[in-house]
Chain A
Amino acid sequence: MSWDPRTTDEALHRAWREGDPSAADRLVDRYGPGLYNFFASKVAGEADELCRRTLAECAAEAGAVEPSGSPRSLRALLFAAARRQLLGSLGEPGGAPLDPGERSVADLVPDASEMMAAHAHQRRLQLALRQLPLDAQVALELRFWEDLSVAELATVLGVEVSTVAEHLASAQRRLQAQLDAERELTDFTVDALMTEHERRRR
């Protein structure tokens, strides 16, 4: 069945739940890249698998999905699931739960060679982001790149809506501090192709 591109997420999700796999195709097209990028910068080697698991979780989502912007929008549920998968994948050996408010990707995956973006401007930001606590990174990325609302972010992070603003502000401060920092960043490798020319703004 071919879908009107304006079809809402919740409609697609409903169709999918009711057994129409072509709806899933549309959702994959819509959110696949964003989902992939969510993982790729943090756990590149498993991005494939984690995307699949995230979608599987969504497929199993029993309750009704609300429109975009609401706490139970597809986006919120999707990225909430993605965050869970991410934490599971980065988890401490021995199964101890990791604290996303404290630990950062830089702590957990010191060797970032596989995940470094190609372009310099992307890289600078990426390097700074990965120093932040996981949840701070997630919050910023989803805010700026996926346009998630405050309510949606609350669902993803598993916190009260009223605290989201503060979370975001704090994350931004920390990011700025990283960007300003003098010290060199360590423990990564960069083997991509780049020249001075790439430093131009896009």
Chain B
Amino acid sequence: MTPGPSLQELFEQGRPASGSVEIDQVLGSLHEAFGLEPSPPVTVGRYAVAGRLGAGGLGIVYRAFDPSLRRFVAIKVLKAGKETAELDVRLLREAQVLARIRHPHVVEVFDVGFFADHGQQRFFVAMELVEGTDVRRWLATGPDRAAICEAFVAAAQGLAAAHDAGLLHRDFKPSNVLMSHEGAVKVADFGLAAVTQELRAEAGTAAWSAPEGNATLSWRPGGTPHYMSPEQQRAEPLTPASDQYGFCVSLYEALYDRRPFEGPDRDALLAAKERGPALPPSPLATRPLRALLQRGLQVRPEDRFASMQQLEQALRVAAAPRRRVWPWVAMGAGVSVGAVLMATAPSPAEPSEASSCPPPPPQLQPATAETPTLTSVLAASPPLAEAWPALAESLAAYGDELRRRWDGSCSLPPPARARVQRCLSECGDGLGALRELFGRGDREALARAWTLVAGLPDVHACTPEPEGRERGVVAAATERARLLVAAGDLEGARRVLETLRTYVATYAIERAARHVEIELAEIDAMQGQVDAARERLERVYFEAASDGDTPAAARSAVRLVSLGQHTGDLPAARQWSRTAQTQLERVQPRDYDLEAVLWHNLAIATMVAGDLPEALATIERAVEHATAPGMAAPLRRTTEQARAELLLLNGRPAEALRIHTERLHTRDAPPQRDAMTAVVDLQSLGNTLTTLHDLDGALSAYREAHRLGASVLGDDHPHTVGACISLAWAEGERGDPAAGQRRLAPCLARMVEQLGPDHPHVSVARAMDGRLASLAGDHPDALRQLKGAIEVLERNFGESHYAVGDLLHELGRAQARAGDPAAAQATLHRALEVRRAALPPGHVNRGETLAALGRLQLEHGDPSEGREHLARAIEIFEARGLPEAYIEEHRAALRRPGEQPPP
């Protein structure tokens, strides 16, 4: 036996401390349990310890109260030790890097410092309190593959964010990934193990030996051996790929329910890692996931993924279900609605009832939506009748899926089963509401049928997890509210939302509550209570922004933009759009849907205010976001449609036409397109073709628009009325103006009835009537109509609005036809001024006015100026792709007598 300290001395040296924060805290709770006296509060720095959360390799984590900011935080008190000055600096530096990372999937660091604990200096870190569990414990509850992948993707994003900031984790393992009650995933304990590693490397000892020099007990620095990368086990320098390794070991465990590498000691463990993991097929570990693990667990770091981002991408792809059985994704209906970013809600603990499986409720039973009312509506409208079978089939398939999942849920344990079944019931309620809507023959609903069907709750969200992402109840209720809104039952929708709000309040989920408030504001706005809506949204915004709830802050800001647009308050819309932009930049992962909606709404607002080029630039941004891969089709479509409109308004009709043919397929009948959408598209196409002087094309587009509108939406629907007016006008233009006027009259009357005599749309319609009158030779009537219309528009929009320019142009032409060239020229000069002010250079309509004026001037005015104008007009037409035949007409006028046209 070697000489050394006696056991007595060894035990003396090795005696554990009799006083520490940990002991104080336990004593405190024992005093409480058994004794009388309140123990003095245990404090760590300024923080008051309120309970113990858990222990880790670095120290114990407490729940503590920060009296300065009046909030609860998590405090990790690192184990006592004699710190040297270097140690302080290093620790602080690591904590500083960590504090720089603000990411939803990284536990936020608030404060670091030293405090005196029974005469010893100890280091603490104050962090975001995540109340819930950790992934290690969560995995023990047996989540399904999708949930596992979702959690790991989130953790990967957190790791990637840290890598971006220059920090390695060094000790990634499931117990270091926290999961809040709401299912938020946050990676914790970054880099804290780094300190020890660096120190040991510097001290030059990988093994620590006994004071007497006997190399007996030794251990390696940092990290938990099973999760350590081979390079870490060998005490080699670490890279981000080393974190990938730990991540993949954790993922392996999650999918296979056992560790990838085992060994009786570290050397054996390392050898096992060098041999590589066994990757047999298994229910949870699909082939793509196995391939991912294969790569992430490569022995050499350079053979793994190039970055954590790449791994995350690969995981996302690998996790996606192979077959898209269910094409519907929960999405709102309508133009101004963005994707629902639902916060998750935990389900109330269900008492385990009788173990027998209840039968599916009535709304899940097979049913048909067809009723006598619906049958007659379909009979009266061939387009609807044509679309109906496919719709009915979709509804039936959705119901079948619900029933199938209900039966499948019977094999789950009672609490999980109850969760799934409640979610499925909610979906069934949505289905029932939709069936009822159709059954009533509601035309608006039928006209937007496919959009509404796409809005049915996502069945995939009905998962059995107790913690983690249960979106089912909240999302389903929100979708049901939207269906009610679609049905026009605003009060019913409001009730559903208010009930939902109580539910989320009961479970104290701030974030879901905010989204419900946003929906309620939408209803306020629809009911005309604009101020109430604005107040609600602003309140949500400020709470969410101060809380760091960026999704809710972004959504409420975007809604405020559209509110501004609806109320014509462009400055407010612009201001909120800047705010929304800032918030959207912080949302992780990027919410492209919502960004697209933001730009879309802002573009409309800008357009209405008359700044056409700005509006076009803005809609381009929306299209950029909405056409990102994976974006929902209805949103993509809506923004493309708006873009086509804006291109047209910006005087670029050929480009607008291209969108119609290539993107919107306006003339074809793509399956599953809402009649409503089709009507709008066709109208827009007609306008485009008119601008391109393709009157035949325009006519057939308007005709189709009107036919669809009349048979699907009814004669009185604003879209139908608009199409009616366009059609009448086009027919008059093409053939018999007087007949056109006769057709137009009743449509105009209906419009006046609906909008009132001074509405701008009415003025535009009157101007069209005036033009027909002019063509028919009824000049006094024409001039009167046009002048009256101009007056109304000037009053509404000011003198320099593009719509005013349009009408001035028509007035000039009418005056010319009426045989008053002087007045015509004066008017056209004015029109040109307005158009120059309101429209961007190169706009087709500037060309039109230049051409009209030029032609007049050639004969009745200053010919040289006229030639200039005409030449310029021709340039514009050529640049804008107007038909050759049309341009040739103008060129002919420009040619002097005797000149030959070009071959």
| Chain A interface residues (CB < 8 Å from chain B) | 16, 21-22, 24-25, 28-29, 32-34, 36-37, 40-41, 44-45, 47-48, 51-52, 55-56, 59, 111, 113-114, 116-122, 124-128, 140, 144-145, 172, 175-176, 179-182, 184-199, 201-202
Q: Do residues B223 and A40 form an inter-chain contact, with CB atoms below 8 A? A: no
Q: How far is the CA of A196 from the CA of B196 in the complex (A)?
A: 11
Is B15 touching A47 in the complex (CB atoms < 8 A)? no
Beyond A176-B7, A180-B216, is A113–B26 a contact (Cβ under 8 Å)? no
The residues of A that contact B22 with a CB separation of less than 8 Å are 36, 40
In the complex, chain B residues whose CB is within 8 Å of the CB of A45: 54-55
User: B193 contacts which chain A residues (CB < 8 A)?
Assistant: 191
B27 part of interface (Cβ distance < 8 Å): yes
Give the CA-CA distance A188 to B220 in the complex, in Å.
9
Q: Which of B73-81, B289-297, B439-447, B682-690 forms contacts with chain A?
A: B73-81
Could you name 27 residue pairs across A and B whose Cβ atoms are closer than 8 Å?
A: A16-B34, A24-B31, A28-B30, A33-B23, A36-B27, A37-B18, A45-B54, A48-B52, A117-B79, A119-B80, A121-B211, A124-B14, A125-B10, A125-B11, A125-B13, A125-B14, A144-B7, A144-B11, A176-B7, A179-B217, A180-B2, A180-B214, A190-B196, A192-B78, A193-B123, A195-B84, A201-B13
Contacts of B57 in A (CB 8 A): 113-114, 116, 189-192
Task: Please indicate the chain B residues that have their CB under 8 angstroms from the CB of A145 in the complex.
Answer: 11, 15-16
Report Cα–Cα, A190/B22, bound state, in Å.
18
Given A21-B36, A52-B33, A125-B11, A114:B16 Cβ within 8 A: no
Contacts of A186 in B (CB 8 A): 264-266
Residues of B with Cβ closer than 8 Å to A?
Answer: 1-2, 4, 7-8, 10-16, 18-19, 22-23, 26-27, 29-31, 33-37, 52, 54-59, 78-84, 87, 91, 123, 171, 192-193, 195-196, 199, 203, 205, 207-208, 210-211, 214-219, 221-225, 264-266
| A122 close to B16 (CB less than 8 A) | yes
Distance A124 CA – B12 CA, assembled complex (angstroms):
12
Closest 3 CB pairs of A and B: A191-B57, A125-B14, A25-B35
Chain B residue numbers with a CB within 8 Å of A32 are: 23, 26-27, 30
CB of A182 within 8 A of CB of B215, answer yes
A44 to B423, CA, bound (A): 40
The chain B residue sitting closest to A26, CB to CB, is B35
What is the distance, in angstroms, from B219's C-beta to the closest C-beta of chain A?
A: 5
Q: Are A33 and B18 within 8 A (Cβ)?
A: yes
Instruction: Take A125-B10, A126-B14, A195-B199 as given contacts and tell me if A33 and B27 are in contact as well, using a CB distance cutoff of 8 Å.
Output: yes
Contacts of B33 in A (CB 8 A): 52, 55
**Chain A residues near B1 (CB-CB < 8 A):** 176, 180
Residue on B nearest A118 in the bound complex, by CB: B79
User: B13 touching A202 by the CB < 8 A rule?
Assistant: yes
Question: Closest CB of chain B to A66's CB: distance in Å?
Answer: 21
Chain A hits for B8, CB < 8 A: 144
Among B7, B14, B203, B223, contact of A196 (Cβ-Cβ < 8 Å)? B203
Query: In the complex, are the beta carbons of B81 and A118 less than 8 A apart?
Result: yes
A125 CA to B11 CA, complexed, in Å: 7
Q: Tell me which of B16, B205, B214 has the highest count of chain A C-beta atoms within 10 A of its own C-beta.
A: B16
Given A28-B31, A193-B78, the answer on whether A41 and B26 have CB atoms closer than 8 Å is no
Bound-state CA distance A40–B7 (Å) is 21
Residues on the A chain within 8 Å of B218, using CB: 184-185
Task: Write the chain A residue with the least CB distance to B227.
Answer: A189
Partner of B219 from A41, A122, A128, A188 at Cβ < 8 Å:
A188
Whether the pair B13, A51 counts as a contact (CB closer than 8 A) is no
Tell whether, in the assembled complex, residue B219 and residue A193 are in contact, meaning their CB atoms are under 8 Å apart.
no
CB-CB < 8 A to B171: which residues of A?
191
> In the complex the two chains form, is B37's CB within 8 Å of A124's CB?
no
Give the residue name and chain of the B residue nearest to A171 (CB). B7
Complex CA gap A186/B195 in Å reads 22
With a cutoff of 8 Å between Cβ atoms, the chain A residues found around residue B54 in the complex are 45
A152 to B216, CA, bound (A): 33
B81 contacts A192, C-beta separation under 8 Å: yes
A22 and B36: CB pair below 8 A? yes
Contacting pair B265 A51 (CB below 8 A): no
Q: How far is the CA of A58 from the CA of B223 in the complex (A)?
A: 40
Give chain B nearest CB distance to A40 CB in angstroms: 7
Assuming A28-B31, A195-B87, is B80 touching A118 (CB within 8 A)? yes
Q: What is the CB-to-nearest-CB distance from B210 to chain A, in angstroms, rounded to a whole number?
A: 6
Residues of chain B with a CB closer than 8 A to A25's CB: 31, 34-37
In the complex, what distance in Å separates the CA atom of A125 from the CA atom of B36? 37
Expressed in whole angstroms, the minimum distance between the Cβ of B133 and any Cβ of chain A is: 14
The residues of B that contact A121 with a CB separation of less than 8 Å are: 13-14, 211
Q: Which residue of A lies closest to B214 (CB)?
A: A180
Q: How far is the CA of A176 from the CA of B14 in the complex (A)?
A: 14
Q: Which residues of A contact B203 (CB under 8 A)?
A: 195-196
For A59, the chain B residues whose CB sits under 8 A away are: 34
Q: Complex Cα distance A37/B55, Å?
A: 15
